């Protein structure tokens, strides 16, 4: 890497010695020692056209199949890994890129938690990124919408950054960040996604699901479908699943008109009461209604999160809502795991994982 | 990983000790020691809508931008890396997945060459995979076409595998392989791709470009655009660029009717005479015309490759065409780097890199 050549030179001069060597060892925090890395597709469906395939007439669909709607997974397992890996699911318009290098080239949660001993599974959900092969058609229509997204992601009221925001403001970093967006190649479908995520957990074994934003809802459903989800860490979700009959009134807001409290059958809901859950929100979420739709939406979401935590915990659950400014951690955007202070944000998560004996 | 738990346990029991430790060291071939890994987007364009963005009216495109048509790159640098990294560009319908774990879970060229000391850069080209944000619209229309592709990729005359083919034939491996396919999210455009690839080489610094199939043509153009391309390794390309006035007649075939010899200005062509180039083809390419269009297409491609090598070399170039069966290496498909004998295929490449003093 030309831009980061200096850091590469420094890093290759570091020590990288791991255990079992019969001599004193010193693990450099700058190098990664992996027992294994790899990829697989999980879940998905197969469509078959009737008839018999003829290799002399290959463009006739007769007898041919289409494999689609799977998740694409890249995993890395460090040596001497902790018991539970972290399984990361991105939010709207995003991909596994969310968890990798930050827009300004620092380590993201992939590297930070690898170096803290966790296996990491980075998912592209069905119909997104490298899992793009969809079984349903889609019209992709590019639109100039970067500033809408950056505002929705609470980087600022674009083009103005929030004062003290924990996000790089230079042009190159913003260029990199905007290029993380990648479109759906088929309709967004929570059931398709949570089915594929359940298949991911069949492969990963028992683990901790980490969701971002829109991934909140399919994340809750993944836990309902697979006992291997031993905990959920949700960054800034906006959708919450209540037991039938216990949903609060929708919360009016200037972005989506009403943020509803969604419901699921009580038996499904119960799964959420049986695992520890932590939900994080960043800064610049107003307490009072805002005439900026993005801000007003996150006000409603945080309010709904608090109502939901009360309901889950009243059923014996273990949900903690963390509004980072209440911990004295200010300036975070909708991407706390990629923000300038993402090591501090990671420390918060590490503390919670330790408290729940998940590390 | 549940399916590969056994291998993980074996691997984590291995030694991983690297240098500079002040004690005897033994590098396990089963572990990876990385100085660095990360991601970036390279190249691309920005579209801007006139006007001023208003955060209170965020769905109005006025004043908003769209960043698209970049390449997405994941790179890994081993400790004590060789001078030149390998920069991998996938073929039609594929993504960086081509170079990672094989369909049956073995190491692909990513891991094989990392462990041989090369930095690796895995690219999703513009409008594909995690680089999906396109500046042009696209209609995605799923079609049952797996068997067409598998036949085109010379795994067999599907549903029959070629006798002795170097490809796993179990259902799970084929399921994984079919799920590597991912659609274009905008029109395939060689100039867009080679522009982005040139930007990748601005970041990687001097390196070796490894192309697969359709990536051949944008690969040749990348070398014409960026002096950092110090060598090209092309697996089964089908398009070749001749100097104006020296293209052979098109080669008739039953897949594309005619395979043309494409031309570029002599000054552009010259760049291909100034770097070492090796081109590999697998097995089951007939010498005589075949009534299976896929086979007939690769017959024409290999013939065109040989004519092209003669022209480049007559201008002082250094092109080697390797038809693997001529080396006694049989059964390879269109994906030699993922085939059952991909370590032997990698050994062939290592020998060539050593001969050209590129390792």
Are A205 and B5 spatial neighbours (Cβ–Cβ below 8 Å)? yes
Each as own residue / partner, the long-range contacts of residues B319-322 (CB below 8 Å, 24 or more positions apart, any chain) are B319/B272, B319/B277, B319/B278, B319/B279, B320/B276, B320/B277, B320/B278, B320/B279, B320/B352, B321/B279, B321/B281, B322/B278, B322/B279, B322/B280, B322/B281, B322/B348
Q: Per-residue confidence at B31, pLDDT binned at 50, 70, 90?
A: confident
Are B49 and B93 spatial neighbours (Cβ–Cβ below 8 Å)? no
User: In A, which residues are within 8 Å of B133 by CB distance?
Assistant: 142, 179, 181-183
Find, among A171, A100, A69, A301, the residue nearest to B72 by Cα: A100
Q: Give the integer Cα–Cα distance in Å for A312 and A276.
A: 11
pLDDT digits (tens, 9 = 90+) for B268-285: 999 999 999 999 999 999
Best mutation target among B130, B155, B160, B171 (most A Cβ atoms within 10 Å) is: B130
Q: Tell me the whole-structure pTM to 2 decimals.
A: 0.93
* Residues in chain B, overall count: 359
Q: Give the integer Cα–Cα distance in Å for A193 and A199.
A: 10
pLDDT at A18 over 60: no
Contact between B186 and A142 using a beta-carbon 8 Å cutoff? yes
Contact between B181 and A67 using a beta-carbon 8 Å cutoff? yes
For chains A and B, count residue pairs whose Cβ atoms are closer than 8 Å.
336
Q: Per-residue confidence at B199, pLDDT binned at 50, 70, 90?
A: very high
User: In A, which residues are within 8 Å of B176 by CB distance?
Assistant: 40-41
Using only C-alpha atoms, what is the Rg of chain B?
21
Q: What is the pLDDT of residue B7?
A: 35
User: In B, which residues are within 8 Å of A144 by CB distance?
Assistant: 47-49, 61, 64-66
Burial letters B77-100, b for 16+ CB under 10 A, else e: bbbebbebbbbbbbbbbbbbbbbb
User: In B, which residues are within 8 Å of A26 by CB distance?
Assistant: 21
User: Does residue A53 sit in helix, strand or coil?
Assistant: coil
Q: State residue B128 phi and psi, 5-degree precision.
A: -150, 140
User: In B, which residues are within 8 Å of A294 by CB distance?
Assistant: 55, 58
pLDDT digits (tens, 9 = 90+) for A197-234: 999 999 999 999 999 999 999 999 999 999 999 999 99
Q: What is the pLDDT of residue B1?
A: 54
Q: Per-residue confidence at A30, pLDDT binned at 50, 70, 90?
A: confident
The CATH number of A34-355 is which of 3.40.50.1820, 3.40.50.1370, 3.40.50.300, 3.30.565.10?
A: 3.40.50.1820
pLDDT at B64 over 60: yes
Task: Give me the residue spans of the domains in chain B.
Answer: 1-31, 34-355
> How many Å lie between the alpha carbon of A288 and the closest alpha carbon of chain B?
16
Q: What is the pLDDT of residue A226?
A: 98
Lowest mean pLDDT among A12-26, A149-163, B268-282: A12-26
| Nearest neighbour of A142 by CB, restricted to B68, B79, B179 | B68
pLDDT digits (tens, 9 = 90+) for B157-188: 999 999 999 999 999 999 999 999 999 999 99
Q: What is the pLDDT of residue B9?
A: 31
């Amino acid at each position: 890497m030309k831009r980061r050549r200096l850091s590469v030179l420094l890093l290759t001069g570091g020590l990288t010695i791991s255990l079992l060597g019969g001599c004193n060892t010193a693990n450099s925090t700058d190098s990664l020692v992996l027992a294994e890395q790899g990829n697989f597709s999980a879940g998905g469906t197969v469509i078959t056209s009737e008839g018999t395939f003829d290799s002399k007439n290959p463009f006739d669909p007769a007898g041919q199949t289409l494999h689609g709607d799977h998740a694409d997974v890249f995993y890395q397992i460090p040596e001497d890994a902790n018991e539970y890996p972290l399984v990361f699911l991105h939010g709207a318009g995003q991909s596994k890129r969310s968890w990798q290098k930050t827009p300004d080239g620092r380590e993201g949660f992939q590297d930070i938690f690898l170096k803290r001993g966790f296996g990491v599974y980075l998912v592209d959900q069905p119909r997104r990124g490298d899992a793009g092969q969809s079984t349903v058609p889609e019209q992709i229509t590019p639109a100039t919408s970067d500033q809408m997204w950056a505002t929705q992601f609470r980087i600022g009221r674009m083009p103005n950054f929030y004062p003290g925001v924990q996000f790089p403001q230079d042009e190159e970093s913003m260029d990199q960040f905007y290029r993380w967006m990648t479109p759906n190649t088929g309709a967004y479908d929570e059931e398709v996604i949570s089915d594929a995520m359940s298949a991911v957990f069949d492969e990963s074994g028992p683990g901790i699901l980490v969701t971002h934003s829109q991934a909140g809802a399919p994340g809750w459903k993944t836990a309902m479908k697979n006992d291997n989800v031993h905990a959920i860490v949700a960054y800034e979700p906006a959708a919450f699943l209540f037991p039938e009959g216990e949903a609060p009134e929708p919360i009016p807001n200037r972005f989506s008109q009403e943020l509803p409290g969604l419901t699921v059958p009580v038996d499904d809901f119960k799964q959420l009461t049986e695992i520890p859950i932590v939900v994080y929100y960043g800064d610049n979420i107003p307490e009072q209604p805002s005439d900026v739709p993005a801000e007003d939406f996150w006000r409603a979401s945080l309010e709904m999160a608090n109502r939901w935590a009360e309901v889950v915990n009243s059923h014996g659950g273990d949900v903690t809502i963390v509004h980072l400014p209440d911990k004295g951690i200010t300036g975070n955007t909708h991407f706390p795991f990629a923000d300038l202070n993402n090591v501090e944000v990671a420390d918060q998560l590490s503390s919670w994982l330790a408290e729940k004996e998940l590390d």
